[in-house]
Chain A
């Protein structure tokens, strides 16, 4: 069974900095794959390489069997891949509904305006924005804007959703709510590749985890395995002895 998304030996350099180095992993059709790693590990760059903001220096990106390496973002979106941003990018003067309609109109299904509005409405309801449909995006709270970003990406009916730190800046209640939404998205059969710093959240959501450090893959596996991987702990804490001490438990 071919994976939905296949990253094969992908690299990217910016000036003197090797942001991503020979990275390979896959995302399966109904999987939630978590991407973690210390700050600066290259996680957002990986997203940018997948959805076409940058073209990789080397390696291939395959989506649904087709080679999408280096294709511009709007074409990648048409293939059925959607993405949210770490710093939300709503269309400020447009309403919530209009924002989502853009997603529905120009995503994979390329719907005409009337039908796109239906899908847009559906998605806005899914994330809990049904009572703010006519509000301009600029008037939403940060949590609302994050939900809008999500709804907009979903409105495109993607097969794979890239979530970039969608929980950042949310309080515990909002985090819970968002996790529920993410689970609901998976129920709909959409695969998810998620970057997150909130450990509990990403560990509980993901089927598998890939750990990045300095642009390379450090570890890969089930959340439980990765959590006790000494190399992973060292990457986060920087001290191998400390890792051993932590594993041996409290004194």
Chain B
């Protein structure tokens, strides 16, 4: 019983990082109705960033966070201009395909360069022990950092002018343009933020688990499940739903072979969407002209 509880708590810690990743998706989706299918690749990017900064440059693990954050933002903005800018306003199908295409390119290059080799970043951080059970220090640190980043994001969105602009564009892009908000810049910024979040969540995952170039797929699926559960464009929902998913994983993993976890999450994803076609906490009203 205690073992199960420990598993659940650990799941919650890891789940918070899922929430962080999902915030990246939901921000982009909420602001510009674009599904970023490079999300998985960006997570992997964060993982590799961590690896090269620690193994290659000898930086302490968590010192990699700021550079990855900044680099992720830069990559995101560049990606916006390359693949997304022309797709905004077109049917969402098109942006789906364009980001999918970029993902193919990135993962293809990645596997060409590094194959399916398993990479591992060893981070030694004392854990927290309770009786027989140890909660790895990396997991706790990841949750703490997630909370910090989420707090900063909230501050940005709700207490700064730029954040307000982002929320305005998310609510009604045309109206925002009419009141003089430079929507294109805001969109690029939002995309950069979304990718930065993906990269950072990848970095944090990299401190906890080993990874390959192809690991992004699984985390991307988890991000989408969490996004949908939490409701589109709803960062709070994403965080809560991420923790919830982590919790469910913590509950299930002692009883289920690992390969089934993903299947279970997919089934959950489809089932929730079929029952609640707008996601669980649908705070955004449909934009149809009804």
A89 to B289, CA, bound (A): 9
1/0 per residue, CB under 8 A from A, across B270-290: the answer is 000000000000000000011
1/0 per residue, CB under 8 A from B, across A68-102: the answer is 00000000000000000111010000000000000
Q: How large is the interface on B (under 10, 10 to 19, 20 to 34, 35 or more residues)?
A: under 10
1/0 per residue, CB under 8 A from A, across B163-198: the answer is 000000000000000000000000000000000000
1/0 per residue, CB under 8 A from B, across A155-197: the answer is 0000000000000000000000000000000000000000000
Q: Return the chain B residue nearest A87 by Cβ.
A: B289
A248 to B110, CA, bound (A): 82
Q: Secondary structure of the B side of the interface?
A: loop
1/0 per residue, CB under 8 A from A, across B246-290: the answer is 000000000000000000000000000000000000000000011
Q: Give the size of the chain A interface in residues (CB under 8 angstroms).
A: 8
* A48 contacts B by Cβ under 8 Å: yes
Asked if residues A48 and B289 are in contact (CB atoms below 8 Å), the reply is no
Q: How far is the CB of B290 from chain A (nearest CB, A)?
A: 5
* A44 contacts B by Cβ under 8 Å: yes
Which residues of B lie under 8 Å from residue A48 when comparing CB positions? Answer: 290
Asked if residues B289 and A53 are in contact (CB atoms below 8 Å), the reply is no
A89 to B288, CA, bound (A): 11
A44 to B290, CA, bound (A): 7
Q: How far is the CB of B91 from chain A (nearest CB, A)?
A: 11
Q: How far is the CB of A12 from chain B (nearest CB, A)?
A: 12
Which residues of A lie under 8 Å from residue B289 when comparing CB positions? Answer: 85-87, 89
Q: Which residues of A contact B (CB under 8 A)?
A: 44, 48, 53-54, 85-87, 89
Given contacts A53-B290, A86-B289, A89-B289, 5 further A-B pairs with CB under 8 A are A44-B290, A48-B290, A54-B290, A85-B289, A87-B289
A-B contact pairs, 8 of them (CB 8 A): A44-B290, A48-B290, A53-B290, A54-B290, A85-B289, A86-B289, A87-B289, A89-B289
Give 4 nearest A-B pairs by CB, closest first: A87-B289, A53-B290, A48-B290, A85-B289
